[in-house]
Every structure is written in C-alpha cells, then in structure tokens.
Structure 1
Amino acid sequence: MLGEDHSLAHEFPEHLPAIKNLTQGDKGFAKQARHYDDLDREIRKLELNNSPIEDDAMHAMKQERAELKDVLYQRLLSEQSH
C-alpha cells in the first residue's frame, strides 16, 4: 500500500521500551534507527507524490529499508533477552 507507515515504532509497537532504551543508550543503534525512520519518511513522501524517481532508485531505497529493519529487529530481540 502506498504511503504506508513503516517506522520502527509502528512496525514493532511491542518493542517500544527496547527501542527507547537502545536509542538512548546505544549511539550506533540510535544512528541506524534515525536513518531507518528518515528513509521510511522519504519513501512515503515519494510514494504519495507518485514516485517521481526511477523505479530502480525506489527499489534500492526499499531494499535498504528492509535490510536496516532486519538489523534493527535483531538488536531489539537481543535487548529483550537481557
């Protein structure tokens, strides 16, 4: 669905405490989470404006978002197990 919110908070509401803890206590996680959310906002903006970029560029952005999401999710799971 175009313009759908894929922010970390929206994707992983059950992990909000871990997102907050990691964002405050781990600069690396915070930087990746910020990049993920910025990328998600940019993708949504482009989708809502009829994707005024090449399909390959949009695909690359979505692929990067998916890869970051996986990395961040693994960190959240690791945080939950502590």
Structure 2
Amino acid sequence: MSHTPHELAEEFPAEVEKMHKLKLENAHFAKLFDEYHEVNRAVHRAEVSVEPTDDAHEGELRKQRARLKDEIWALISAA
C-alpha cells in the first residue's frame, strides 16, 4: 500500500494546464475534480491512520477514486 497522495497534477503532469482550463470552462469537470480530491484526501487519511477505517470502506473509497480518475481522464482526452 502506498501512502503517497494521488494528486491529479502528479497523475497527469502533462495535462495541468488543460485541467485548469477545464475547471474554469466545464462545470461537470470542476465537480468531478473537486469530488476526486475529497475522496483522495479520505483515502490518504485512512492510509496514514489519521482517520482509521475498515478495509472494506477504504477499498470502496479507492474504487470511487479510480472511477473518478477514469472519468476525469476521459474528459481531458476529449478536450
């Protein structure tokens, strides 16, 4: 298990400018972006035991983060 935050700027470093533009111009993208960061922070807090949770809940958070990341990538790719 990695305890490294999965920030979108680190996940897609070549797309930082495009993400910034999409956040300003696309309300759906902005919502997904914010939701991703909320879920990502929850996963990270669980990983480092700041907010301990059971394995099943942490697994669900990870799946949610992956789904959001996939949807975000689809929007980035289409832009």
TM-score strictly above 0.5 = yes
| Inter-partner Cα distance in structure 2 for 1:73 and 1:28 | 13
Give the deviation of 1:2 after TM superposition. Answer: 3.0
Mapped contact 1:43–1:58 kept (Cα < 8 A): yes
Quick one: distance in 2 between partners of 1:40 and 1:72? 13
Identity over aligned residues, as a percent? 27
Count how many residue pairs are aligned between Structure 1 and Structure 2.
79
Task: Provide the rounded CA distance (Å) in 2 between the counterparts of 1:52 and 1:37.
Answer: 18
TM-score norm. by structure 2 comes to 0.91
Query: Structure 2 unaligned runs (5+)?
Result: none
CA distance in 1, matches of 2:28, 2:52: 32
Aligned residue in 1 for 2:46: 46
CA root-mean-square deviation: 1.4
Structure 1: gaps of 5 or more residues: none
Which residue does the alignment assign to 1:73?
A: 73
